[in-house]
A and B are shown apart, each in its own frame.
Chain A
Amino acid sequence: MRSSSKPSAVWIDFESRLALPLAALFVAFFVAPLFILIVLSLQPDVATRTFTLKNYIEFFTDPFNYSILWETLLLGLKATVLCLIFAFPIAWICARANVRLQQAILFLVILPILTSVVVRTFSWIVILGRQGIVNQIALGLGIVHEPLRLLYTELGVVIVLAQVQMPLMVLPILTVLSKIDPNLTDASYALGAGEWRTLWRVTLPLSLPGVIAGCILTYTACITAFVTQTLIGGARLIYMPLHIYQQAIGANNWPFAAAIAVVFMLSVLIIIGILGALARRSQTYVQA
């Protein structure tokens, strides 16, 4: 490239150091707290400085605890799949739309994620409630004869999560879709493949990196969506974030709450790791 005697190299060298203040902030207020959290999770109580696996054993031997973890991970999966079913067509149409329509669709897609999460969830209570809009319509049309229970059910939480996190799925898919060479799909049509076949055999495989990136973002957002989970799920449906909160603030059992938090974070990391590995494999497929 360029020899190191040139000032540009000095500039780049200087610029790379500009990341250091934020790095210091992250070490002091992100890495260190997480480290302390792990240490605390290995202690029997806040005051005692001995180490034990008691909290973890308690978590994994009590079905109440590990079923909450399982339910949370499953909730994320359901919401992510529902989200993908709607997000892919949006991104597909958006990628083929003219600039004005594309801008309009994107604006509508981004709107919910920028509106306060409490407000968004609140409006869903008005929609899904016993006398909510969905029930009024369903009863009015005679589809059902008594109000559907949507609020405080897992189905309700899944629907709301899928809507709330939709932008996280649409944007990465749109990015890859608009990079696909249109000649590839044209070739597929010319060779006699129809729309569906082209979608399955050409467009979808080529957009996999974006789909997986969208899934990672949506999944992690869904399983940690504390406000939506508690307001739509109600008090009976407990997911990991609420479990941590209840143990930490309600029961004041910090070491156990720390263990739950560590288990939760590790589960998220493992899932991101698996999806990330899939993304890398699909990337080589795209390049091949």
Chain B
Amino acid sequence: MSRPKAAIDWEAVSFRFVFTALTVLAVIVLVTPTAIVLLTSFTASESLRFPPAGLSLRWYYALLDADQMQRAAWNSLIVALWTTLVCVVFGTAAALGIARTRSMWVRGLDLLFMSPLLLPALAFGFAALVYINRLGFSPSLEFLVIGHVIVCVPYVLRTTIASLTQLDPALFDASESLGASWPMTFRKVTLPLIAPGLIAGAFLAFMASFDNVPVSLFLADARTEMLPIHLWQQIDTNLDVRTAAASGLIVIFTLALMLIAERVAGLTGQMR
């Protein structure tokens, strides 16, 4: 089946066209919502129409008086920071345990640790509430953090295990034969080399916790309102332009953190 050389290769043309068109369309669809949130948040009017009628920072100023929203943001930040800390400590240890061992039970543990990513998080949130209740406790900040750790630790594990498996085992042999102890090897050899993976994982865990709804919905006590849940209820009941400003602020912070994570840890490379 030889193709005539001079004629246009319609197959190649159509293929390039379809693939390029789909990609361009997808990239537009991926970026547009974020851009729109940002632009809408600067609106000068009382409504959420796009394009905004005039630009102003009035809704950002309005956030300064939104006490409830500020408290919710603070709660979310505290929980996300604790969650990230616990995830990094437990996750790094577990990653070290999993990456270099090939036994069956370790493979099983790996599967167990990843399963919160696949199972419905809302079902887990409810299960955790039932469990705490049966133990005779009521939802609290501590349980909330533990619940977040369960659903966020897979991110730290995935990126850290990936970095660990890329390490040359000869490095450990060299460190060992030069007389270094395990803690010293960890501090001087392993940790610096896996740091980018660990940072990327910690960043993902932080974002996942800050953004979590399904677990917080059940485990946050009545007094601690979390930001995503507060915003979710705001959007569900009355579309307030302050919500747009808060969303705009979240987008700006996310972008800034992403750019930092990309610079420091090569985020896009770590997520592959």
Is A277 engaged at the interface, CB distance under 8 Å to the other chain?
no
A175 to B271, CA, bound (A): 10
Which of B40, B117, B126, B267 has the most chain A CB atoms closer than 10 A to its own CB?
B126
A89 to B26, CA, bound (A): 9
12 A-B interface contacts by CB (under 8 A): A16-B106, A17-B97, A30-B115, A31-B112, A86-B26, A89-B22, A119-B37, A119-B231, A126-B36, A132-B50, A195-B14, A245-B122
Interface residues of A (CB under 8 A from B): 7-8, 11-12, 14-23, 25-26, 29-34, 36-37, 40, 85-87, 89-90, 92-93, 103, 105-112, 114-127, 131-133, 136, 163, 166-167, 171, 174-175, 192, 194-197, 199, 216-217, 220, 223-224, 226-227, 230-231, 240-241, 244-245, 248-249, 254, 257-258, 261-262, 264-265, 268-269, 272
**B122 pairs with A244, CB closer than 8 A:** yes
Which A residues touch B32, using CB under 8 A? 127
What distance in Å separates the Cβ of B132 from its nearest Cβ neighbour in chain A? 8
**B126 pairs with A175, CB closer than 8 A:** no
Which B residues touch A103, using CB under 8 A? 268-269
Interface SS of chain A: helix
**B176 pairs with A11, CB closer than 8 A:** yes
The closest CB in chain B to the CB of A121 belongs to: B235
- Given known pairs A192-B1, A223-B120, the reply for A116 and B254 (CB within 8 Å) is yes
What distance in Å separates the Cβ of B104 from its nearest Cβ neighbour in chain A? 12
Interface footprint category on B: 35 or more
Which A residues touch B93, using CB under 8 A? 18-19, 21-22
- Given known pairs A89-B23, A248-B126, the reply for A122 and B120 (CB within 8 Å) is no
Which B residues touch A114, using CB under 8 A? 204, 207, 254, 258
What distance in Å separates the Cβ of A180 from its nearest Cβ neighbour in chain B? 15
- Given known pairs A124-B33, A126-B36, A265-B119, the reply for A19 and B271 (CB within 8 Å) is no
